[in-house]
Amino acid sequence: MGRAQLILEVAEGSAEGALRQFDLDEEPRGAILDDQEVDLALVQVMHVVQREFAEAEVVPGIDCFRMFVRIWQWIRDAIARVGSYGPNLERRYEVSVRLAQLPSLSDAEWITQRSGSTPIPPAFVSWFRKCLEECFEFNLSAAAPDCRLVEDLGMFDATWSDVTWDIDDAFESAFGFQIVHATGDDDPDIETLEDYLCYLWRAVAPVWTEVAERVRGGPEA
């Protein structure tokens, strides 16, 4: 059997939304999703949010990876609408209800609650909070710096399991370069929002004066 091709067709039609069609090959190809057999030869998905692909300078070894991530994110969102793949909605509801009982924090209030001693510009803190809220896909305005990512905010459970890819992609889009993650014994211990903030800040701090204008507030913020 020849290599399967992924064909994406977009039909802008009714006001209800666009039709997305996957055509993997001519022969039916079954897959099991949530104890149900699904024919992947033709999967039609309604109401799929259309993702925009920004033009980028071709850099060998970087843009190919970014394109792979973007395509995977799109396919991931589509599959979630025909099967059980995706965030655990019960866990998301549980986290959202608990956060809704807490007061929302402004950026200034959030900064005053930080336990870390590393000075971080308010503009970066503001970007960080907005970035995580967009990637987690629920309201984090009441999540304090000491909130634990997994236990309190449901990271990897109430969110997509590959949410860190979304955050890395948002970071690169905002600041123009990729984060080089540590591995093995050098892998940082990230448990709370404060930990994650400091981790991302360490990546951008050396070039902050050059990239600060990319986020609201400018280099002096």
pLDDT in tens, 159-195: 998 899 999 999 999 999 998 887 655 557 899 999 9
Alpha carbon separation from 35 to 17, 27, 169 (Å, rounded): 28, 22, 33
Looking at the predicted structure, is the pLDDT value of residue 113 above 90? yes
Give the domain-ending residue among 80, 108, 137.
80
Note the pLDDT of residue 76.
67
Q: Is residue 93 part of a domain?
A: yes
Looking at the predicted structure, is the pLDDT value of residue 79 above 70? no
- Average pLDDT along the chain: 74
Looking at the predicted structure, is the pLDDT value of residue 12 above 50? no
Domain residues for 27? 7-80
Whether 190 and 150 share a structural domain: yes
Give the domain-ending residue among 51, 80, 109.
80
What pLDDT band is residue 58 in, cutting at 50, 70 and 90?
very low
Looking at the predicted structure, is the pLDDT value of residue 47 above 60? no
Whether 109 and 190 share a structural domain: yes
Percentage of the chain modeled with pLDDT above 90:
47
Q: Is residue 221 part of a domain?
A: no
Note the pLDDT of residue 215.
80
Whether 175 and 109 share a structural domain: yes
Strands of the sheet containing 19-23, edge to edge, are 7-11, 19-23, 43-46
Whether 109 and 208 share a structural domain: yes
Whether 105 and 45 share a structural domain: no
Whether 71 and 102 share a structural domain: no
Whether 149 and 204 share a structural domain: yes
Whether 75 and 93 share a structural domain: no
Looking at the predicted structure, is the pLDDT value of residue 101 above 90? yes
Q: Is residue 219 part of a domain?
A: no
What pLDDT band is residue 59 in, cutting at 50, 70 and 90?
very low
Give the residue with greater pLDDT, 144 vs 21: 144
Place of tokens 């370069």: 177
Whether 101 and 188 share a structural domain: yes
Asked if 113 contacts 145 with a C-beta cutoff of 8 angstroms, the reply is yes
Number of domains composing the chain = 2
Place of tokens 């190809």: 29
Whether 175 and 111 share a structural domain: yes
Of 27, 25, 22, 2, the residue nearest 10 (C-alpha):
22
Cα torsion through 85, 87, 93, 98, rounded to 10: 160
In whole angstroms, give the CA distance from residue 147 to residue 142.
10
In whole angstroms, give the CA distance from residue 76 to residue 79.
5
Of 84, 86, 71, 74, the residue nearest 31 (C-alpha):
84
